[in-house]
Amino acid sequence: MSNTTVTLHDAGEGDEPVCNTSGNPTFGDIIEAHLSRRGALLGGLTAAVGAMLVQPGPAAAQGTTPAASSEPMLGFSAVPTAEGDRIVVPQGYTARVIAAWGEPITGSFPRFSASASGADQGMQVGQHHDGMHFFPIEGRSPDRGSSTDGLLVLNHEYVEPRFLHAARYAGQRLGGSAVVIANDKRETDEVLKEINAHGVSVVRIARQADGTWAVQRDARNRRITGQTPMEIAGPVRGTDFLRTKYSPEGTRTRGTLNNCAHGVTPWNTYLTCEENWAGYFRNGTTSGDRPTLPREQARYGVSTRRGRYAWELATSGADEFVRFDATPTGANATADYRNEPNGFGWVVEIDPFNPESVPVKRTHLGRFAHEGVVFGPAREGRPVVAYSGDDAMFEYIYKFVSARPYTAATANGSLLDEGTLYAAKFNDDGTGEWLALAPGQNGLTAADGFGTLAEILVNTRAAADKAGATKMDRPEWGAVDPRSGEVYFTLTNNTRRTAEQADRANPRGRSQFGHIIRWREANDDHAATRFAWNIFVLAGPEADSRTSAGRALGTDSIFACPDGLWFDAAGRMWIQTDIGESQQNKGDLAVFGNNQMLAADPTTGEIRRFLTGPVGQEITGVITTPDRRTMFVNVQHPGATTTSDDFAAGKPNSLWPDGEGVPRSATIVITKNDGGIIGT
Ligand code: FEO
Ligand code: CA
Ligand code: CA
Ligand code: CA
């Protein structure tokens, strides 16, 4: 490295978003209640819980094995909190690993190795597994069909370069997201490998004669990456916002990035959600010495300096890399990539059964840090309804209601291209309302730059600010109870909320532990514009937590920073945690140990710990086979808490799952030893 200036560029911790301060107005009217004193607060919460309607509503149509009336909701022994480098599941259960990062699934099936190339990575399972679904192999329904053979479709949220480039980076003092920049350039194959480790994997898996599961070589296996060509659909398609050198018509873009959670449509396609995409771009536009980024980039945190992994600095200077620099350089938008960031922040639809299909970005679901998307139950002749959270501090919860009704025989993704996007307002009295984000409604006018639907959707956050939605504590996953129809959302934490900014729906100042909120739509109609809400659980230690039954969490149930959330067909709610890397096993968070998964009974409020994960990771993504006898769970970023000194010394603090080499994100397959239903 002589004659070379080597710098380290560290983009910060994992997937934890920075607080978005750009253009975020001060906190609105509903904060005036000042419910900052804990005593008053918890009394108020209990009253709100009591006031909510909690009778089970009409059962949703479910394709999976329905719950027997005698099925125990929490029929397993709790596992203790843990700090070990392994998976722990309850007595009577077994967990095995499948589809670890780097496992070959397509092309020439290059085997996993520390020195695999960027091209190799494009034929292997990506890194940092997140949201996931098991599609039964028949391809007719997302939740009916084979329980032994299917397509596992999973997101890869981000990468950890020091493990991704283990051979090149060995011996260097590197933190979790640092990349090596030499002479202001990045090695092109490293950049390609990082881009190819992002995106989505589609991989056929099947149960073997001995009961284990294995990856199958199948023509439908596919990698969708940060480079895969995509169509853009909905109201923003073809507008000036999307015109680039690559797509002068503003109809296409390349790749999907920071794919966090997911969704599954009633018509058997997969949705992948773009969360912290803004950090991957830079835009150096200035006036004098002040950055002057357009609203649609500044409000989302596009960097004025370097992109997250500085992909724009790839030595080759190829178009697919320089596009991550959105600084205008040409005569107009079709001569450069000033609009490239506008092609991100969307929900992307993928047909996993057609490997030739082009993924489609569905712009009517809004543009923000999309955590995931969850559908209300599809009902013939009724609109399709999809809920989505914007995971950043003080951001919003949204729902989309289709204009056209759902008809099972003809339903497809175009249902998501016409309708209304709403943002949620949670009133302190336990009621709530959905505020339409559409021209002429809720103060959205041309005078403020919201004259068209495209302007509103590209600037979804700014539109929700204007409409007066409620600023939440980092909305992560949502889930809909198949029995009651109630919608649940995790609010993972918000350490920047002050006591004065607390409200009934986000009741803690400096919320370290997070909570789960739930609501019921008026008349049990998911398309309704009013709802009633309460708090299902305030997460935390025994001394600072509260379940819906008014009790504190206990040894078997304490948890913090809820993130992943999913209901099985019996109405058992699975909660997954993501205590950030800088907090794990430290300070007030030490008592929770490694990140974990719990099950909850939404009726009684009881919660019980089902699984603990290895060192440094988060647990995220959960689905079962239709018979509910096999569960898939993702383990993301094991070893991320390895210090730069320990990395330099070749001692990652996790070697999960291989016990050697580098830690690898992976899917675990959980079965009950007696072949029974998971959780019973
Ligand atoms: Fe990617 Fe909000 O977790
Ligand atoms: Ca995380
Ligand atoms: Ca998450
Ligand atoms: Ca998270």
Q: Which pLDDT score is estimated for 15? A: 60
What integer pLDDT is reported at residue 108 of this predicted model?
98
DSSP assignment of 477-509, as one string?
EEEE-TTT--EEEEE--BTT--GGG--SSS--T
Q: Ligand 1, residue 258: give the atom nearest the CA.
A: 1
Share of the chain above pLDDT 70, in %: 90
Chain-centroid distance, C-alpha 513: 18
Q: Quick one: DSSP state of residue 413? A: G
Q: What is the CA(447)–ligand 1 centre distance, in A?
A: 34
Q: Which residues surround ligand 3, an ion (CB under 5 A)?
A: 260, 563
- In this prediction, residue 8 carries a pLDDT of 73
- Per-residue pLDDT averaged across 369-388, rounded? 98
> What's the start-to-end Cα distance of the chain, in Å?
59
Q: What is the pLDDT of residue 33?
A: 30
What pLDDT was estimated at residue 47?
38
Give the model's pLDDT for residue 64.
65
The pair of three-digit structure tokens given for residue 662, joined into one six-digit string: 């580098």
Q: Would you say residue 70 has pLDDT above 90?
A: no
Helix and strand counts by DSSP (H, E) for the chain:
10, 35
User: What residues have CB less than 8 Å from 448, skipping those under 6 apart?
Assistant: 466
**For 33-55, what is the mean pLDDT?**
34
Ligand (nearest to CA of 564): 3
User: Which tens digits make up the pLDDT trace of 621-645?
Assistant: 999 999 999 999 999 999 999 999 9
Element of type H or E holding 515: strand 515-521
The confidence score (pLDDT) of residue 20 equals 47
Residue pLDDT, tens place only, 269-291: 999 999 999 999 999 998 888 88
Q: Which residues line ligand 1 at a C-beta cut-off of 6 Å? A: 15, 157, 260, 275, 371, 391, 476, 563
- Does residue 19 carry a pLDDT above 60? no
CB 437 within 8 A of CB 421: yes
Find the mean pLDDT for residues 564-590. 98
| Overall residue count recorded for the chain in this entry | 680
**What is the CA(273)–ligand 1 centre distance, in A?**
10
* pLDDT tens, position by position, 496-523: 999 999 999 999 999 999 999 999 999 9
Answer for the pair 152, 205: CB distance below 8 angstroms, yes or no. Answer: yes
Contact 121, 109 (CB under 8 A): no
Parallel, antiparallel, or unpaired: how do β-strands 393-395 and 383-390 relate?
unpaired
Q: How far apart are CA 296 and CA 342, in angstroms?
A: 7
Banded pLDDT at 43 (limits 50, 70, 90): very low
Q: Tell me the pTM.
A: 0.93
Instruction: Tell me the HSE value of 221 on the side-chain side, using a 13 A CA sphere.
Output: 22
Amino acid letter at 648?
A
Q: Per-residue pLDDT for 62 more than 60?
A: no
Q: How far is ligand 3, taken at its centre, from the CA of residue 492, in Å? A: 9
What pLDDT score does 18 carry? 53
- Residue 424 C-alpha to ligand 1 middle, in angstroms? 20
CA 95 to ligand 3 center in whole angstroms: 22
Residue with tokens 């709610």: 573
Residue 428, CA distances (Å) to 2, 214, 489, 633 in order: 63, 50, 17, 36
pLDDT at 42 over 90: no
Nearest ligand, measured from the Cα of 475:
1
DSSP 3-state assignment of 162? helix
pLDDT at 398 over 90: yes
pLDDT at 291: 87
Q: Is 115 exposed, middle or buried (0-12, 13-18, 19+ CB in 10 A)?
A: exposed
What pLDDT, on a 0 to 100 scale, did the predictor assign at position 50? 36
- What would the mean pLDDT of 336-353 be, rounded to a whole number? 98
* Ligand 1 atom with minimal separation from the 261 CA: 1
